[in-house]
Amino acid sequence: MAARMQGWRRGLVAACLGAACTLAPAAAPWPVAGLSALVKAQGPAVVHIGVERDATPPRRYSDRGLQGVPGAEPAADTRSFGTGFILEADGLILTNAHVVARGTQIRVTLPDRREFKAQVVGLDAASDIALLRIEAQGLPTVRIGDPARAEPGDGVVAIGSPYGFGNSVTAGIVSAKGRLLPGADAMQFLQTDVPINPGNSGGPLFNLQGEVIGINSRIYSRSGGYQGLSFAIPIDTAMRIKDQLLATGRVTRGRIGVSVQEVGQALADTFGLPRPAGALVNDVAPRGAAERGGLRPGDVIRQVQGREVVQAADALGLIAEQPPGRTLRLVVWRDRAERVIEVQVEGYDAPRTAPAAPSAPARLGFAVRPLAPNEQQLLRVEGGLLVQRVNAAASRAGVQAGDLILAFNGQPIDSAETLANELELADGAAALLVQRGATRLFVPICARVGQAKC
């Protein structure tokens, strides 16, 4: 590989004009000496995280009735693993929230094979950030870098535990910056082509100076494994969350009560914008901060506190960073001209703990999560719950993972709480209206405990 990369590098920097040929300064993303020095220096601060979770005991039917003993229905997976990295020498560790959520026992294994029981210091499901602590001193730590300085084409390195294989090193380049993903409206991810697989979650993404610039968090894949698209949470975002979790145990975000969308070329032409950029306000909450400040639907937010808004998530992210009570200066485009609007930021607190994974009444035997606003817009629905897991009873009744539940006995469903309330009122057979792909259908299910059909 080294020979191939050096040949590629020579090909990039050679510039010939007629018979003359000169070598330009190298700009290759890889150090000629390789990556071993980086891995040796930073690898000792990357840890393997093993998590145990409670699971409902598997059940079976027999001639003696329903038994809470091992049987034909498989038990839920009670063990998982991920990656983390040490921020402070006294045992503070950063990882993804989804790695440790609902864990009843969390164990951290260092590269030198020492094991420690870990405690959750704080967890923020919205940003997918969690802090752990182990009882140890004098531990190696990572160095924190600046993701804003990373550019597409820069070399990056990941260290983690894909499929449980600890301290695995993979490398690639930054593919893009500012990527928006479903379910994370105010988060802009670093996209890379670094091979990331299950178990890498929570691990560090290093630049070639050996600094952490991101937390490997997501992949896009048709197979469940790496297919060239991996995404990392920028480390500056994670460190802001870390500071709040350490200080108060929760995360407070600013908001002003608006919903925004992207500005494409057609909308830019309609509003007379010089180029397709900004966050188009499509809804303003009644009696909210934005309304009190004079913001209205049709305004295009172009700057927040002097920082440019290129895409809609820029505005949401910049607003979320502001502390409650601050007066926010917005530059908006209205009636084909710019104007300044000042809005006082409101705050809201994220939950102290992550949701117990996608949730729904256990009686129905499936786990759900609400759709994010951009997912609702994409699917052209209002509300709805996405089925993420089903047990054997729900599967026999006809519910499938990936179904979108729209209504329960004719009542629209927009939250797990609504579903739980409807379930309490139901007795016997119930009808779920689900969307499966492009088709909508009713699925009959029994609302009585432990039964797939009535």
Query: So where are the chain's domains?
Result: 2-34, 36-55+80-250, 252-349, 362-446
Nearest to 48 by CA among 78, 86, 77: 86
Residue 221 tokens, joined: 């894949």
SS3 92: strand
Q: Looking at 49-53, 109-113, 399-403, which range is the least confident one?
A: 399-403
Q: Are 92 and 196 in contact (CB under 8 A)?
A: no
Q: Which residues, 6 or more positions from 402, have their beta carbon under 8 angstroms from its beta carbon?
A: 386, 387, 436
Residue given tokens 């172009």 in the structure block:
302
205 sits in the region (left: phi over 0; alpha: psi -120 to 50; else beta) called beta
pLDDT score for 364: 60
Nearest to 435 by CA among 410, 401, 397, 406: 406
Question: Taking 90 as the threshold, does the pLDDT of residue 62 lie above it?
Answer: no
Q: Across the strands, what pairs with 105?
A: 52
What is the DSSP secondary structure assignment for residue 54, as one 8-state letter? -
SS3 329: strand
Task: Name the residues annotated as catalytic.
Answer: 98, 128, 201
Amino acid letter, residue 445: I
Output the average pLDDT for the chain.
Answer: 80
Question: Taking 60 as the threshold, does the pLDDT of residue 56 lie above it?
Answer: no
Query: For residue 234, with 0-12 CB atoms within 10 Å meaning exposed, 13-18 middle and 19 or more buried, which class applies?
Result: buried
pLDDT score for 29: 58
What is the DSSP secondary structure assignment for residue 68, as one 8-state letter? S
pLDDT over 70 percentage in the chain: 76
Amino acid letter, residue 264: G
SS3 313: helix
Q: Are 167 and 111 in contact (CB under 8 A)?
A: yes
Cα separations in angstroms, 303 against 14, 69, 75, 103: 42, 60, 52, 41
Residue 364 tokens, joined: 């129905």
Q: How far apart are CA 89 and CA 102, in angstroms?
A: 26
Q: Which residues, 6 or more positions from 335, have their beta carbon under 8 angstroms from its beta carbon?
A: none
pLDDT digits (tens, 9 = 90+) for 331-385: 999 999 999 999 999 987 654 443 333 444 445 667 788 877 766 766 777 778 8
Q: Which strand (E) or helix (H) includes residue 65?
A: strand 65-67
Residue 281 tokens, joined: 């306000």
Q: Are 280 and 300 in contact (CB under 8 A)?
A: yes
Domain 362-446, what fold?
A: Pdz3 Domain (2.30.42)
Q: Taking the model in full, what pTM does it have?
A: 0.65
Q: How far apart are CA 392 and CA 51, in angstroms?
A: 24
Residue given tokens 């590098």 in the structure block:
9
Q: pLDDT-based confidence at 191, cuts 50/70/90?
A: very high
**Other beta carbons within 10 Å of 201:** 27
Q: Are 190 and 153 in contact (CB under 8 A)?
A: no
Q: How far apart are CA 186 and CA 191, in angstroms?
A: 16
| Range 119-156 burial, b when 16+ CB lie within 10 A, else e | ebbbbbbbbbbbbbbbeeeebbebebbebeebeeeebb
Domain 252-349, what fold?
A: Pdz3 Domain (2.30.42)
Question: Taking 90 as the threshold, does the pLDDT of residue 154 lie above it?
Answer: yes
In SS3 terms, 356-397 reads as: CCCCCCHHHCEEEEECCHHHHHHHCCCCCEEEEEECHHHHHH
Residue 272 tokens, joined: 């007379």
Question: Taking 70 as the threshold, does the pLDDT of residue 10 lie above it?
Answer: no
pLDDT score for 65: 31
pLDDT score for 5: 45
Residue given tokens 């059940």 in the structure block:
59
Question: Taking 70 as the threshold, does the pLDDT of residue 22 lie above it?
Answer: no
pLDDT score for 398: 77
When the candidates are 3.30.200.210, 2.40.10.120, 3.40.190.10, 3.30.300.180, the CATH number that belongs to 36-55+80-250 is: 2.40.10.120
Nearest to 176 by CA among 123, 261, 234, 235: 234
Q: How far apart are CA 107 and CA 118, in angstroms?
A: 6
Residue given tokens 């290759």 in the structure block:
28
DSSP E strands, 182-336: 184-192, 204-207, 211-219, 230-234, 252-255, 258-262, 279-284, 300-304, 307-308, 327-334
Domains 252-349 and 362-446 share a fold: yes
Mean pLDDT of 263-279: 91
